[in-house]
Amino acid sequence: MASCAKHCVAYLFILVVLSVPAASVYTLTDQGGLGARFDGVGGLSGGGATSRLLVSYPEPYRSQVLDYLFKPNFGAALQILKVEIGGDAQSTDGSEPSHMHSADDQNYTRGYEWWLMREAKKRNPSIKLYGLPWAFPGWVGGGEPYPNPELTAEYVTRWILGAKRVHGLTVDYVGIWNEKEYDVTYIKTLRKTLDDNHLSHVMIVAADGDWLRISEDVMADPELAKVVDIIGAHYPGTNSIPMARQTGKPLWASEDYSTFNDPKGASCWARILNQNYVNGHMTSTIAWNLVASYYDNLPYPRDGLMTANQPWSGHYEVSDPIWATAHTTHFTSPGWQYLKGVGHLDGGGSYVALADGKGNLTIVIEAMSHQYSKCVRPLLPPYSVAPMQIVNFQLGGAFEKITHLYVWFSKFVGNSTARFERRGPPIKVTGGHFSVEVKENCLYTLTTIQKVRNPPTNYPDSPASAPFPLPYKDNFDGPANSSEARYFSDQTGVFELFVNESSPDHVGTMRQVITERPIFWCKKGPADSPISVVGDHNWTDVTVSCDVLVEQQGGAFVAARVDRGGCVIKDALGFFLWVFADDTWALSYDLALKNIVKGGKLNATVVGQWHRLDLYSKGDIVKGSANGQVLFEMKTGPLPIKKGFAAIGSLDFKHVQFDNFVVDKKT
């Protein structure tokens, strides 16, 4: 790691350099009281299926990733973990299972969010937990979750109770419905239901969208104002609105960042962690997403604080946003308070200061340029940052007693980069005064906290990156680290490991379990055909094989070269080999079955019988067979379907089982 001594050094600086104009003096004092309570920096798992591959990592690499995210004074040292309350539907990069597929079903071990929350708490017992639904199972309401507010409130409350009863997890915050219209009656009903179940400690964050409507409603409705504890907005661009501040509620950027985790992404994150408070008075910022643990060719690749999407190799990448986070989280805790005298620097950039009320002080300074700190959203208005500026501080009140401050700094872009390095000796403070040289695109923490960085500060490099292994086989017999088969990423529907007691040859299977159309979060509404993808999006010449069982109705498929996932999965193209309950088969070039190119009668009964499907593709040749009998072999002609995932799935939301899955390279 290169030193940035010539570019970012923050030392005691006596202002005698004639070429640098005199600067303002920034006063930091507790006289007159402190500012708002600091509520913490967080990461978001979900919205959706963003941590899907992490649970499949081998040890010790899985634990190493978790340490970088949650272990205090190590990596990001996150203070809040926000997770999706799974709703059986696509919610950006996949669908997450609900704890209640139906009204008479409860299961608090499905998926991986429970496991993730336990691991976070294991490393940091003080971390706060926050749950939010993106989608809901269909039985909750007719297309939206509010026809019966009591029913929906009970559904969400059971998730919180299950977290405590089954996993010993205390949920601290709960939201309403991610980025969707909310119902005021439902919010009030949720508060009552929580209180009736001895969950008065759970705080309600509303409404995980924009500022305006919830602020208007809280101002106009005293009863609503009593039950909304925090106003949370998404991607606020570091700004809130006057009405939100007038509510007197804590304001959060309850989802932010969503930017590729390269050095520019880290600079974006550093800037908004400071300026969300400086400009918008937001006391918590939560990054979407926690860790990019989903396939690169799904939406928003590598938009996590770090990347861990190769469990087959153990490879992961500790990305720069981890270290940008550390500048705040290693030297503060929720419950600290911001000082009132924070703001922008004359030469560009910003500073915040936080205190614990016991004499400790932490100052975070960022000077990120417009060019190198743009987030994906929203548009960043132009501004300028001086190449170098002298920043003078005057400490007052209890802070006048401070004699020195320890310095940590980072520079993520340009030459002489550095990542969360300690620079010594400490800055001397004389009579409460000190000066700092601040360079463009640098991030500094000045603190009274003497932090010993025990070597080795981080783990050795993870194993080398490697392509998805072929041949790949899964007989779904376990053991499993979650309810889902390793490496499969459900894009519509929910595919769970299942014990089939009626078939000795297929005891362990994977089953599509959703039988009612869920309440979707995606605007277009994903496909009516559940699908789970696996492997490498760049696969071209492969054979995909699987045993399938259509239990009663619908159909089943295997697929190759599936070209997309996410909320646009309904438009997916590829080669799809289907068998249907009416004993027919088909080859389609799309999931929606709008482009069927081959079909016929199967010489077997489909419903209730296991069938082996094989789909071969090489160049412009595609061949399909059922139970060893060739159904077709053909040239596709010119097609846009050049490469893609392997997949399995069902027709409509019906029970279908899968076993003995194989994908292999063909030459």
As given in the structure block, the two tokens for residue 70 are 């949650």
Is residue 2's pLDDT more than 50? no
Cα angle 401, 404, 406 (rounded to 5 degrees) comes to 135
Is residue 10's pLDDT more than 90? no
Do 649 and 534 contact (CB within 8 A), yes or no? no
pLDDT band at residue 9 using 50, 70 and 90 as cut-offs: very low
Do 543 and 615 contact (CB within 8 A), yes or no? yes
Is residue 526's pLDDT more than 80? no
Per-residue pLDDT tens over the stretch 193-205: 999 999 999 999 9
**In the prediction, which pLDDT does 523 show?**
87
pLDDT band at residue 21 using 50, 70 and 90 as cut-offs: very low
**In the prediction, which pLDDT does 7 show?**
44
Mean pLDDT score, 51-65: 97
Per-residue pLDDT tens over the stretch 275-302: 999 999 999 999 999 999 999 999 999 9
Rounded to an integer, what is the distance from CA 287 to the centroid of its chain?
A: 7
Our answer to whether residue 154 is catalytic in this structure is: no
Our answer to whether residue 181 is catalytic in this structure is: no
pLDDT band at residue 455 using 50, 70 and 90 as cut-offs: very low
Catalytic residue (choose from 255, 421, 437, 440): 255
Catalytic residue (choose from 144, 179, 400, 551): 179
Which residue, among 258, 214, 257, 259, has the nearest Cα to 232 in the 3D structure? 214
More confident residue, 15 or 276: 276
Residue 245 burial (CB count, 10 A): 15
Strand partners, 580: 555
CA distance 618 to 628: 19
Burial of residue 530 (CB within 10 Å: 0-12, 13-18, 19+) is buried
Is residue 80's pLDDT more than 80? yes
Residues above pLDDT 70, as percent of the chain: 94
As given in the structure block, the two tokens for residue 42 are 């967080």
CA distance 236 to 380: 11
pTM of the model: 0.96
Per-residue pLDDT tens over the stretch 244-273: 999 999 999 999 999 999 999 999 999 999
**In the prediction, which pLDDT does 625 show?**
98
Is residue 16's pLDDT more than 50? no
Mean pLDDT score, 414-425: 92
Rounded to an integer, what is the distance from CA 654 to the centroid of its chain?
A: 29
CA distance 194 to 176: 13
- Beta strand 25-28 with 388-395 is parallel
Residues above pLDDT 90, as percent of the chain: 90
Distant-in-sequence, close-in-space partners of 6: CB < 8 Å, separation ≥ 6? 416
More confident residue, 140 or 458: 140
Per-residue pLDDT tens over the stretch 362-405: 999 999 999 999 999 999 999 999 999 999 999 999 999 999 99
**In the prediction, which pLDDT does 460 show?**
94
CA distance 122 to 81: 13
**In the prediction, which pLDDT does 458 show?**
81
